[in-house]
Structure 1
Amino acid sequence: MQGTVTMTTLSLRPAGQCNGSCLLAPATARQPRISWWRRQQRQTTLHRQQMQQCSVATLHNDKVDDRLGKNPCNFHPSIWGDFFLHYYDAAASSKQQQTWMVERADEVKQDVAKIVASSVAWDLHHRLQLIDALERLCLHHLFEDDINAALTQIRTVNLTDCDLHTVAMWFYLLRKHGHRVSPDVFVRFKDQEGSFLAKNPVELLSLYNAAHLGTHGEIILDEAVVFTRTHLEAILPSLEGSLAHEIKSALEIPLPRRVRIYESKYYISTFEKELTVHKSVLQLAKLNSNIMQLHHQQELEIITRWWKDMEIESKLPFARDRVVECYFWILGVYFEPCHSRGRIILTMVIAIATIFDDMFDSYGTMEECELLTNCMERWDTKFADGLPKCMKHALGKILDSYGTIDHQLASEEKYRMPYLKDFTIDLVRGYNTEVKMREEGYIPRTVNEHLQVSQRTGACHLLACASFVGMDDIATKDSFDWVSTMPEIVKALCIILRLLDDLQTYEREKLTPHVASTIKSYMKEHSVSIEIARKKIEDLKEHTWKDFNHEWLNPDNAVPRQLLERIFNLTRTMEFMYNLDDNFTHCQNLKDTIHSLFVEPYAISF
């Protein structure tokens, strides 16, 4: 790690594998400046300037298309606007402070490395606790080799004398890292009546979380989920403090499905209050959080400036202005500084998918959507005559943005763009199919028929591909060929998102014309009430998580673990975004977490 850093520059190319070396990836003379991005944006849009001026003039005088002033879905505006174009903490952003933070973080990292090394001599329980703490504090990428070596070593440890809490932590951490250990380790914790011998809430919680990494046919894990959920729900009202918080959070989203970075600051506060981790670990967590925050603020400036250049919000006034929320979403896929380019590209792609979603869902007529689909299939605006000027303008900006992404790729990486384009075209075709279904009032006869279209219109197959585009050499042509086959783990991601989305948006979408949901299809297929249908769709989501876990633990999967981790993290973010509400559409639900992660630094003296 170098001791100096220039935060006025930021690499959009990958900095290589994190693996302990990306507390703050220093810029080099060859790395592009933010100002380069601004110049590039001007250059890529120059050839469309005449069309844009015409579009704007037409929009100002458009007296026919009254859709421009309507907001049929009642989308709430984002509260962030241009905030990250201008925000910076003067003290934290000073070169002197940055240099000190990086140097101090490197020193403390060496102290923590000694703790990790010495843990080889610890008992199993405390070794597992240390690994779990490093992961909850988002420090695991700094000690990746050490953690992987430790997990490989303890995989064959003798668990005979270990309590249920320790065994559950062992099972959870190993399966979370892709080791398919047997659930038979829990057999000795069952009594003759079939109940689990959990002595306290901590054991119940540990078993509950571990059991959610189960696959099909692992009956003891199914029984553990039912048993622990029942008992945790019963004791929760009598608990308080961090344990009550942990149980409540787990009942909403089990720990294996939660997004680490979203909760990291909570755990820093909790561990500090309860004195459960070494002070050096906490200090490193705070320094690392501040350093990452500076990176993320710079990336937010870039992505906000790109969004302003898109100018979609002024042309499609009820499209969701969610670029900060999009970036926050993608932060859950990869938060480490070395993945800067990947984050920016993936944020652009998810924001573009949102624009398409809103145009097809809320703006375009069936004829306009057909024409827009034709333009995307040809990847050209020359065929856009007949589109409203605002849609034509948006289409031009979207194609420009893909040109910007292409510019970010090295010559040997250019092969990635056709994959990204093909997935985008496939998404648009899916949206267009749903428009036809909506206009015809067609309800698919079965959930399976519904998913033939709707598992793709959640855009997750596109996002899975896009999550590879900005990564380094770990993403090979074989990886893109693999993701293009819609493998089972990607299919499970797509289905989980579709079911989560339908469960949370069903009531809102009844207020406006909308394509039928999987809930409607289940009601039609089985002639049941909405209450029963909702329960069955929830059950199907859990069933699909078992499909996902099976693929995650599949030893025959030749795809690098770092790429599979992106897909797992994408799936985790879906659980977060659609937990109890559609948090993306109702973006006010996210403002406190966004403010904490991107605006509030830790006060660290130097």
Structure 2
Amino acid sequence: MVGLGGEMEITRRCANHHPSVWGDHFLAYANLSGANEWEEKEHEDQKGGVRKMLVMAPSKSLQKLELINTIQLLGVAYHFEHEIEELLSCFYTCYDDWIGEFGESDLHVVALSFRLLRQQGYYVSSDAFGKFINEQGSYKEELARDVQGLLSLYEAAQFRVHDEEILDEAINFTTTHLKLILPNLSDPLATQVSNALKFPINNIIVRVGTRKYISFYKEDESHSEMLLNFAKLDFNILQRLHKKELCDITRWWKESEIAQALPFARDRVVELYFWSLGVYFVPQYSVARKILTKVLCFCSIMDDTYDTYGTLDELTLLTTAIERWDIDASEQLPPYMKLSYRALLQVYNETERELENLGNKTFRVKYSINEMKKLLKAYFQEAKWYHAKDVPTMEQYIKNGIPSSTYLLLATTSWLGMGDAATKDAFDWISNEPTILVASCIIARLLNDLVTHEIEVERGDVASGIECYMNEHGATTEEAYMEIRKIIEINWKDLNRGCLKPTTVPRVLLMPVLNLTRVAEFFYKDEDAYTFSKNNLKDVISMVLIDPIEA
């Protein structure tokens, strides 16, 4: 089609994404103050009181384990990491003796002990659940009446690794019976079971889980008033910090004018900050969250550029320019690409300066840049498949899907602001795509495919994992969905195994990899909540980032 000026007009695809649902909302928090003097004193006093509770609870007791569990679920365990590690280390050394004390009616104790230790990185044997199995090799039917035991076993089984059939069976047994019991339960237990079936502890964004659990705990008649008040105060103090960070990020985004200049791209800066918050929420990672959010913004822009808006010729130029990583390379690009390319390089330059000021090693930035290059090569491969109308094999799709999931880049970038633990050796390790990271990438890639498949087929997008599987195996859509879910399950086992000690790098560095996977589970549970954030995600973000908990 020829335009008025005689130049060829380009027909571009556009996904018609809805505008930001937040507007300037978070700019209103520019002058928000942190905790006042009274709150700080109250917070310190209550923290001391909770620490005392933790130390004073009888050693090697169910009471001690349940207190650790409650502290973790209330989102305040980061204040007591040393104490919790020490206590669980003691349970680990005497695990067999401890478990041996309990019989067939103590499913809750055995499952809770197992989960807390696996969660902490200790490998303990799942043989402990053998006492709950009947002669036919199934879980004993009388366990179906023990709701607390079922729920604890269900949560424990989410931490399974390969060759743990006893836990595979536990998932089926507990899921079936919890669903059957659910209509007969009353609140708050009914809501707790319902939420767990959708988002087990190992699959939920920590901050979302915390906000919901505070509500459950308040309804528990045996709750500790001091612990509840401490959790509420801590949540609200952190929320104010997060509001302030999001205000700064929103201002940066608006001043960049990227959203106005690139109307085809999703305007989701708040949702991307929320993504970063899912990776780490504690105060010490404030700078890390801002860096990760800014890089996420460019992942999203580039995704929309390669996926729908850019022509193959333009994308070839952009991929070459990214490989050069030089401001002069932008001269070859069309104006809209020139803007995003220069803004991307600027963000990395600013990140380097920020890390220099913090005394961190700026060498880290090049690892993130290398992953960004890898990501855009993967996006370019998808674009080539689309334009050639090629449907790759499942193996080709997964191989490319590992970088195109964005998680190689995001995991590496999440370490930039993480302090001394992120050494050069650690960055060398993660740049070699270890199993735990590959598993996270595959899970994220395929979870996205499960919820976007139908829309992308309608839109005529590049083939997803669903189509690749159907095409290669002559399978139905339902068969492909089942197979994709199996692949996700296998990779969760790899991920769980990778979090167990001994680990090649400190576990503090593995937590962002695990938490990124939890974010993907959350965002892609029933729909693409990132793209369609005006639906359910808006309310969740309000709950975590806007509405304080009433005292």
Aligned to 1:582, what secondary structure does the other structure show? Answer: coil
Is contact 1:381–1:392 with CA below 8 Å preserved after alignment? no
1:570 aligns with one of 516, 521, 529: 516
Distance in 1 between residues matched to 2:236 and 2:507, nearest whole Å: 28
1:195 aligns with one of 121, 132, 138: 138
Residue aligning to 2:119: 176
| Map 1:4-83 → 2, pairs under 5 A | 72-83=14-25
Residue aligning to 1:525: 472
| Map 1:476-555 → 2, pairs under 5 A | 476-553=423-500, 555=502
CA RMSD of aligned residues (A): 1.9
Whether 2:277 is the aligned partner of 1:331: answer yes
Distance in 1 between residues matched to 2:206 and 2:331, nearest whole Å: 47
| Map 1:96-115 → 2, pairs under 5 A | 98-115=36-53
Is contact 1:211–1:222 with CA below 8 Å preserved after alignment? yes
Is contact 1:133–1:277 with CA below 8 Å preserved after alignment? no
Deviation at 1:493, TM superposition (A): 0.4
| Map 1:63-212 → 2, pairs under 5 A | 72-87=14-29, 93=32, 98-119=36-57, 121=58, 124-155=61-92, 156-157=94-95, 158-162=98-102, 163-197=106-140, 198=143, 199-212=145-158
Is contact 2:29–2:244 with CA below 8 Å preserved after alignment? no
Deviation at 1:385, TM superposition (A): 4.1
- Structure 2 unaligned spans of 5+: none
Is contact 1:135–1:260 with CA below 8 Å preserved after alignment? no
Residue aligning to 2:385: 437
CA offsets, 1:406-437, max 9 Å, x none?
Answer: 11112651111111111111111111111001
Is contact 1:368–1:386 with CA below 8 Å preserved after alignment? no
Percent identity of equivalent pairs:
39
2:294 aligns with one of 319, 343, 348: 348
Q: Which moved more, 1:152-161 or 1:326-335?
A: 152-161
Q: Which moved more, 1:343-352 or 1:230-239?
A: 230-239
What code does the residue aligned with 2:436 have?
A: I
- Structure 1 unaligned spans of 5+: 1-60
Distance in 2 between residues matched to 1:549 and 1:124, nearest whole Å: 26
1:296 aligns with one of 225, 235, 242: 242
What code does the residue aligned with 1:228 have?
A: T
Aligned to 1:511, what secondary structure does the other structure show? Answer: helix
CA offsets, 1:347-393, max 9 Å, x none?
Answer: 11111111110111121000100101111111124233453311211
Deviation at 1:94, TM superposition (A): 5.2
CA offsets, 1:263-287, max 9 Å, x none?
Answer: 2122112211223331111111111
Structure number with greater CO (CA < 8 Å, separation at least 6) is 1
Is contact 1:320–1:354 with CA below 8 Å preserved after alignment? yes
Q: Which moved more, 1:255-264 or 1:524-533?
A: 255-264
Distance in 2 between residues matched to 1:64 and 1:270, nearest whole Å: 62
Residue aligning to 1:475: 422
Distance in 1 between residues matched to 2:124 and 2:271, nearest whole Å: 37
Is contact 1:213–1:549 with CA below 8 Å preserved after alignment? yes
Whether 2:364 is the aligned partner of 1:424: answer no
Deviation at 1:240, TM superposition (A): 3.0
Aligned to 1:562, what secondary structure does the other structure show? Answer: helix
TM, length-normalised to structure 2:
0.93
Residue aligning to 2:506: 560
Distance in 1 between residues matched to 2:369 and 2:230, nearest whole Å: 41
Distance in 2 between residues matched to 1:277 and 1:562, nearest whole Å: 30
Deviation at 1:558, TM superposition (A): 2.0
Distance in 2 between residues matched to 1:232 and 1:94, nearest whole Å: 44
CA offsets, 1:557-580, max 9 Å, x none?
Answer: 220010011111111111111111
Q: Which moved more, 1:543-552 or 1:501-510?
A: 543-552
Deviation at 1:538, TM superposition (A): 0.8
Distance in 2 between residues matched to 1:62 and 1:130, nearest whole Å: 74
Deviation at 1:599, TM superposition (A): 1.6
What code does the residue aligned with 2:38 have?
A: W
Residue aligning to 2:398: 451
1:591 aligns with one of 538, 546, 550: 538
Distance in 1 between residues matched to 2:155 and 2:33, nearest whole Å: 42
What code does the residue aligned with 1:114 have?
A: K
What code does the residue aligned with 1:236 have?
A: L
Distance in 2 between residues matched to 1:309 and 1:378, nearest whole Å: 27
CA offsets, 1:192-226, max 9 Å, x none?
Answer: 23332324122111111111211111111111111
| Map 1:158-307 → 2, pairs under 5 A | 158-162=98-102, 163-197=106-140, 198=143, 199-307=145-253
CA offsets, 1:22-71, max 9 Å, x none?
Answer: xxxxxxxxxxxxxxxxxxxxxxxxxxxxxxxxxxxxxxx9997677xx88
* Cα gap change, 1:329 to 1:62, in 2 (>3 Å): farther
Number of residue pairs the alignment of both structures matches: 535
Is contact 2:360–2:419 with CA below 8 Å preserved after alignment? no
Deviation at 1:160, TM superposition (A): 2.5
CA offsets, 1:98-150, max 9 Å, x none?
Answer: 2221121011111111101112x156222121111111111000001111111
| Map 1:315-330 → 2, pairs under 5 A | 315-330=261-276
Distance in 1 between residues matched to 2:180 and 2:462, nearest whole Å: 39
* Cα gap change, 1:323 to 1:64, in 2 (>3 Å): farther
Aligned to 2:514, what secondary structure does the other structure show? Answer: helix
Distance in 2 between residues matched to 1:494 and 1:233, nearest whole Å: 30
Is contact 1:151–1:174 with CA below 8 Å preserved after alignment? yes
Is contact 1:333–1:566 with CA below 8 Å preserved after alignment? yes
Distance in 1 between residues matched to 2:201 and 2:402, nearest whole Å: 25
Whether 2:234 is the aligned partner of 1:308: answer no
TM, length-normalised to structure 1:
0.85
Residue aligning to 1:602: 549
Residue aligning to 1:20: none
Q: Which moved more, 1:512-521 or 1:427-436?
A: 512-521
* Cα gap change, 1:232 to 1:603, in 2 (>3 Å): closer
Distance in 1 between residues matched to 2:62 and 2:254, nearest whole Å: 51
Aligned to 2:421, what secondary structure does the other structure show? Answer: coil
